[in-house]
Amino acid sequence: MSSVSRRKLITTGLAATAGVSGLAVASRVAHRYGLIPPDHGGLYGIGQTLTYASQRLLTRHSLAREFPRSQISARPFANGKPPQGDDFKRLEAGNFADWRLAVDGMVARPASFSLAELRSYPSRSQITHLACEEGWSFVAEWIGVPLAHVLNVAGILPQARYVVYFSIQPDWSDSIDMADALHPQTFLTYGMNGGELPVGHGGPLRLRVPRQLGYKSVKYLTRLTVTDSLKQFSSESSYSWYAGI
Amino acid sequence: MADSACVPSLAAAVPATTETPRHSALVRVTHWITTLCFFALLVSGIEIVISHPRFYWGEAGNVLTPPLFHLPIPASRSSVPTGYGYVLPDQNGWSRSLHFQSAWIAVLTGLLYAVSGLLTRHFRKNLLPAGADLSRRAFSGVIANHLRAKLPGEAEASSYNVLQRLTYLLVIFVLFPLVIWTGLAMSPAIASAFPAAVTVFGGQQSARTIHFFVSVFLVLFLLVHIVMVYRAGFRNRMRAMITGRAGAHKEHP
């Protein structure tokens, strides 16, 4: 073996060792600061982790852009069909007077809220962009109560890491980390463009997560679960869990 | 194809083999990683675009608003009116994940290439055109050669002409940064942290439309690039980009 190739071998070996131990340290630091998304495994785990980690470092406290009233889209597109189940139709016939939002899991005081109770909390509004992963979007005024307010009423336990939220539509749920759950623009939304939230847009109750793509803004919310692990809520979705993109 | 027939005097002046590689190891490795990422980005980008083959200008746009233009192709979502009686299979889930993972690898590879290109003076030595080459006369000479479909001489086997240099600089320092920037500008989280990155384009839908056109330009570049490599001697040029050696033998395909 010539000395040049031996030197190359040693250099390469050192570089590889440094690289591997660097990655190990990075992984520990990332875990400690909550920079690893639940879908970090698998074929696209590297991309999901890089996106989530870098955006958590850059955007943890940033506010979604808000627009002047003049930029509200005249014709917002309501994607999908309203729920076809009998339970939804019965609640809709009663003008959603009996609609409830259950809050359970890692909270001090599990509770169930009526729409009237949610409306009695301090109301906020935001004029933000809703962008679908398909490529289309619209700007609307969203009216509701910050999710953080309701979570504080229920009392989040210190070990809480995620909020899982469920639609009345079977098999439709999603989850966000506490950075988005406690973000001041994450709303339990019951109003839109000055009126009630139309059924087509998720009425009577929709979560709005304006710093993520539209699919995280699940419609027809009936239940929130605060948890420290998403293992039992695993879904088959091939879409990124974190959709700040 | 006898490359040397065009410029026989130069062919004699330039040695066929040199000690220094035609392309450095770093250029070769980053070239092929970028190639792989580009194909992954292209395939997944096409998959994503067929879910909504309509383009808008400004901040917002959807099927209820008039598009700037639309691609006359079927869509993978039934909500998009295309005029076709069928809906293509929806492949957005893995396509989006592949798109962003490839983008990450391409961006990190591109950063490595750009930083080392500055440190090793690769850009200045090999890509920045000499002042004399930018004169109207030298420029029109190169263009005339191109238009006459004149094949590159041996001198160009070890260096780039002014058109190549300008094209590579445009791709490396304008098109790639622009396609990355417009891609990031579509992200709601990035837009929240860096709003000016979006407003400079006029809105998120404008960024999406520009992203599409820059991608089209990159694909056009790729096609021309492949045609030129083929015309200049496919095997020699491929060998140069894989092993680094320009090749001692003339090619007779």
> What per-residue confidence (pLDDT) applies to A233?
85
Which residues of chain A from 71 to 100 reach within 8 Å of chain B, CB to CB? 71, 73-77, 79
> What per-residue confidence (pLDDT) applies to B232?
85
In the structure, what pLDDT confidence band is assigned to residue B133 with cuts at 50, 70 and 90?
confident
In the structure, what pLDDT confidence band is assigned to residue B251 with cuts at 50, 70 and 90?
very low
Averaged pLDDT for residues A15-25:
84
> What per-residue confidence (pLDDT) applies to B152?
64
Instruction: Determine the residue of chain A that is closest to B99 in CA distance.
Output: A47
- Judge whether residue B6 has pLDDT over 50: no
Residue B205 lies in a domain: yes
Taking contacts as CB-CB distances below 8 angstroms, the residues of chain B near A210 are: 188, 192
Taking contacts as CB-CB distances below 8 angstroms, the residues of chain B near A138 are: 60, 62
- Judge whether residue B3 has pLDDT over 80: no
Contact (CB<8Å) B96/A244: no
Residue B61 lies in a domain: no
- Judge whether residue B194 has pLDDT over 90: yes
- Judge whether residue A75 has pLDDT over 70: yes
Domain ranges, ordered by start, for chain A: 65-233
Cross-chain CB nearest to B65 (options A55, A75, A245): A75
Contact (CB<8Å) B104/A46: yes
> What per-residue confidence (pLDDT) applies to A17?
86
Q: Which of B69, B182, B187, B210 to mutate against chain A (most A CBs within 10 Å)? A: B187
Residue B216 lies in a domain: yes
Share of chain B above pLDDT 70, in %: 87
Q: How do residues B159-180 score in pLDDT, each as one tens digit?
A: 888 888 999 999 999 999 999 9
- Judge whether residue A195 has pLDDT over 80: yes
> What per-residue confidence (pLDDT) applies to B15?
46
Averaged pLDDT for residues B226-235:
90
In the structure, what pLDDT confidence band is assigned to residue A28 with cuts at 50, 70 and 90?
confident
Is any Cβ of chain B less than 8 angstroms from the Cβ of A238? yes
- Of the given ranges (A102-106, A231-235, B49-53, B90-94), which has the lowest mean pLDDT? A231-235
Cross-chain CB nearest to B192 (options A59, A133, A138): A59
Helix segments in chain B, DSSP class H: 8-13, 25-49, 92-119, 122, 136-147, 155-158, 162-170, 176-185, 188-193, 196-199, 204-231, 234-242
Contact (CB<8Å) A51/B63: no
Share of chain B above pLDDT 90, in %: 66
Averaged pLDDT for residues A191-216:
97
Phi, psi of A178 (to 5 degrees): -70, -25
- Judge whether residue B109 has pLDDT over 60: yes
Residue B106 lies in a domain: no
> What per-residue confidence (pLDDT) applies to B245?
84
Cross-chain CB nearest to A245 (options B52, B77, B189): B189
- Judge whether residue A180 has pLDDT over 80: yes
- Of the given ranges (A38-42, A58-62, B2-6), which has the lowest mean pLDDT? B2-6
Is any Cβ of chain B less than 8 angstroms from the Cβ of A48? yes
Chain CA centroid to CA B82, Å: 30
Cα–Cα distance, A104 to A225 (Å, whole number) = 5
Q: Which of A183, A93, A86, A197 is nearest to A140 (CA)?
A: A197
Q: How do residues A211-232 score in pLDDT, each as one tens digit?
A: 999 999 999 999 999 999 998 8
Q: How do residues B12-49 score in pLDDT, each as one tens digit?
A: 444 444 467 889 999 999 999 999 999 999 999 999 99
Is any Cβ of chain A less than 8 angstroms from the Cβ of B162? no
Residue B225 lies in a domain: yes
Q: Which of B101, B180, B209 to mutate against chain A (most A CBs within 10 Å)? A: B101
> What per-residue confidence (pLDDT) applies to B247?
61
- Judge whether residue B186 has pLDDT over 90: yes
> What per-residue confidence (pLDDT) applies to B156?
63
- Judge whether residue B65 has pLDDT over 70: yes
- Of the given ranges (A29-38, B8-17, B78-87, B183-192), which has the lowest mean pLDDT? B8-17
Q: Are strands A206-208 and A173-177 parallel, antiparallel or unpaired?
A: unpaired
Is any Cβ of chain B less than 8 angstroms from the Cβ of A57? no
The 3-class secondary structure across chain A, one letter per residue, is: CCHHHHHHHHHHHHHHHHHHHHHHHHHHHHHHCCCCCCCCCCCCHHHHHHHHHHHHHHHCCCCCCCCCHHHCCCCCCCCCCCCCCHHHHHHHHCCCCCCEEEEEECECCCEEEEHHHHHHCCCEEEEEEEECCCCCEEEEEEEEEEHHHHHHHHCECCCCCEEEEEECCCCCEEEEEHHHHCCCCCEEEEEECCEECCHHHCCCCEEECCCCCHHHCCCCEEEEEEECCCHHHCCCCCCCCCCCC
> What per-residue confidence (pLDDT) applies to B142?
82
Averaged pLDDT for residues A102-107:
98
B130 vs A147: which has the higher pLDDT: A147
Averaged pLDDT for residues A84-91:
96
Q: Which of B55, B62, B73, B88 to mutate against chain A (most A CBs within 10 Å)? A: B62
Give the A:B interface size as CB pairs under 8 Å: 125
What's the domain count of chain B? 1
Instruction: Determine the residue of chain A that is closest to B90 in CA distance.
Output: A134
- Judge whether residue B138 has pLDDT over 50: yes
Question: Which residues form the domain of B174?
Answer: 132-234
Is any Cβ of chain B less than 8 angstroms from the Cβ of A55? yes
Taking contacts as CB-CB distances below 8 angstroms, the residues of chain B near A244 are: 187-190
Averaged pLDDT for residues A69-85:
95
B162 vs A108: which has the higher pLDDT: A108
Chain B closest-CA separation from residue A163 CA (Å): 19
Residue B3 lies in a domain: no
Looking at 3.40.50.10440, 2.120.10.30, 3.30.70.1520, 3.90.420.10, the CATH number of the domain A65-233 comes to 3.90.420.10
- Of the given ranges (A101-110, B62-71, B79-88, B135-144), which has the lowest mean pLDDT? B135-144
Residue B38 lies in a domain: no
Taking contacts as CB-CB distances below 8 angstroms, the residues of chain B near A240 are: 96-97, 100
In the structure, what pLDDT confidence band is assigned to residue B136 with cuts at 50, 70 and 90?
confident
Share of chain A above pLDDT 70, in %: 98
- Judge whether residue A4 has pLDDT over 70: no
Averaged pLDDT for residues A37-60:
93
pTM for the full predicted model = 0.89
Cross-chain CB nearest to A44 (options B48, B59, B97): B97
- Judge whether residue B238 has pLDDT over 60: yes
Name the average pLDDT for chain B. 87
Taking contacts as CB-CB distances below 8 angstroms, the residues of chain B near A133 are: 51, 92, 96
